[in-house]
Amino acid sequence: MADKLHNFKPMFLIIIIPILFSYASAQQKQVESGDAEFYNNRGADYFEKGQYDQAISDFNKAIEINPKYVEAYSNRGSAYKEKGQFDDAIFNLNKALELNPNLDGAYYNRGIAYAKKGQHDQAISDFNKALEINPRYAEAYNGRGMAYAKKREYDKAISDFNKAIEINPKYAKAYYDRGSQYVMKGQYDHAVSDFDKAIEINQEYSEAYGFRGIIYMGKGQYDQAISDYTKTLKINPKDAMTYSNRGRTYMAKGRYDNAISDYTKALEINPKFALAYFNRGRSYYHKKEYDKSWEDIKKAQDLGYKIPPDFLDDLRKASGREK
C-alpha cells in the first residue's frame, strides 16, 4: 500500500502542476487586464480635469499592458489633440481606428486634428465617417460646418450648424459658429440673434459677447458695444483684443482718456500689439499730447505697422515736428 501511495505522488504532481500554472497564468492575465482598465479610467479622469500630461502617462501604461487597447489609443489621441500635438493625435487615432473602424468619436477627434492643421478636406472626410456611424452626432455636424467655413463655403457651413442645432437646441457653440458665418455673409441681424441665443444658453460665453460688441460698434451702437466688451472682459480679463476694441469705441465717442486706459491695458497684456500703439497714439493726438503721440506712433512703426500717410501729415502739422 505504501508503495502504491509513493507511486501516486509523482503522478499527482504531473497532473496538478500544469493546472495550477494555467490557473496562475489566467489570473495574471486577468490582473493585467484589470490594470490596463484602471490606468485607462484614471487617465480619463485626468483628461476631464484638463491634466493632459498625467492622462497621457496613464494611457501609455494601459497600452503597455494591453497593446490592443482601442479605447486607450483613442483617449491618448484625444489628449494629444487637446495639447495641440496634432500629429501625435492623428497617429494614435489612426491606431484606434485600425483596431476598430467603427469609432465615431475617433473619426470626430481626428477630424478636429486635421482641421487644426489646416487640412480641411481630410477633416470633412472624417466628419462624414463619424456621421455615417452616428447620424445624430451634433458635434460632428458642427465640426464639419467649421471646416466648410474655413473653405469659405458659408452656406454649407450654415446648413451643418442648422443640423447641429436641430439635434441639440441647447448647443451654444453651434449658435455662435452660425452667427460668425452670418457675419461673413453680411447678415448682421441674423448674427446678433444667434449670439443672443448663445449667451442665453451660456451667460459666460465671452466670445459671443465680444463678437456681438463688434457688430454693435459697426452699427454705431456704441453704448451696447461697450457693455458687451465690458462683459467679455469681466469673464476674460486677459483679452487684449477686446480692450483694444473697447478703446476704439471710446475713441468713437470722444472719450480719449478711457480709450488710452484700455489701449494701455491691452499693451500690458501684449507688449507687441502694434495696432494698440497706433490707436493710443491717435488718442494722444486728439488730446493734443503730441510728444506722447509720436512716441506711440514710433513704437507701432518699429513693430511693422504701416501708419496712414494722412494721419502722419496731420500729426506733423499739429506738432511742428517731422517725426
Average pLDDT, the chain: 91
Which pLDDT belongs to residue 34? 67
27-82 pLDDT, tens digit each: 344 334 569 999 999 999 999 999 999 999 999 999 999 999 999 999 999 999 99
Contact 125, 144 (CB under 8 A): no
97-106 pLDDT, tens digit each: 999 999 999 9
Q: How far apart are CA 165 and CA 277, in angstroms?
A: 41
Residue 323's pLDDT band (cuts 50, 70, 90): confident
Mean pLDDT of all residues in 171-180: 98
pTM (2 decimals)?
Answer: 0.84
CA distances from residue 166 to 137, 241, 249 in whole angstroms, order as listed? 11, 33, 36
Which pLDDT belongs to residue 6? 39
**Residue 155 pLDDT greater than 50, yes or no:** yes
Q: Which domains does the chain have, with CATH numbers?
A: 169-236 (1.25.40.10), 238-323 (1.25.40.10)
Which pLDDT belongs to residue 157? 98
261-319 pLDDT, tens digit each: 999 999 999 999 999 999 999 999 999 999 999 999 999 999 999 999 999 999 999 99
Mean pLDDT of all residues in 133-158: 98
Q: Which residue has the cell 518699429?
A: 302
**Residue 131 pLDDT greater than 90, yes or no:** yes
Q: For the CA atoms of 49, 55, 56, 61, what is the dihedral angle to 10 degrees?
A: -170
CA distances from residue 114 to 81, 84, 120 in whole angstroms, order as listed? 10, 11, 7
**Residue 126 pLDDT greater than 60, yes or no:** yes
**Residue 90 pLDDT greater than 60, yes or no:** yes
